[in-house]
Amino acid sequence: MFNFDPNKEYPRETRSRSIIRFQDCDPLRHLNNAKYFDYFFNARDDQVPQLYGLSPIDLFTDYQAGWVVYQHQIAYIRPALVNEWVIIRSRIIFYDSDTTVVEYVMSDAAERQLKTVLWTTLKYVDVNTGRKITHHEPIMHFLRAAHYTEIDFANTSFAARIKVLSNDYKKQSGKTM
Answer whether residue 5 is part of any domain: no
- So what's the pLDDT on residue 177? 40
Report the pLDDT value the prediction gives residue 54, as an integer from 0 to 100.
86
Q: Are 18 and 36 in contact (CB under 8 A)?
A: no
CATH number at residue 119: 3.10.129.10
Mean per-residue pLDDT over the chain, rounded? 94
pLDDT, one tens digit for every residue, the chain (177 residues): 677 788 888 999 999 999 999 999 999 999 999 999 999 999 999 999 989 988 888 888 999 999 999 999 999 999 999 999 999 999 999 999 999 999 999 999 999 999 999 999 999 999 999 999 999 999 999 999 999 999 999 999 999 999 999 999 988 877 544
Residue 4 lies in a domain: no
Domain for residue 3, yes or no? no
Q: What pLDDT score does 8 carry?
A: 87
Query: What is the number of structural domains in the chain?
Result: 1
Structural domain includes residue 9 = no
Edge-to-edge strands, sheet with 114-126:
14-19, 85-95, 99-108, 114-126, 65-76
Residue 104 lies in a domain: yes
DSSP conformation class of 29: S
pTM as predicted: 0.93
Rounded distance between C-alpha atoms, residue 75 and residue 105, angstroms: 10
pLDDT, position 176: 44
In a domain, residue 8? The reply is no
Q: Which domain holds residue 134?
A: 14-173
139 inside domain: yes
Instruction: Please check whether residue 145 is in contact with residue 10, taking contact to mean a CB–CB distance below 8 angstroms.
Output: yes
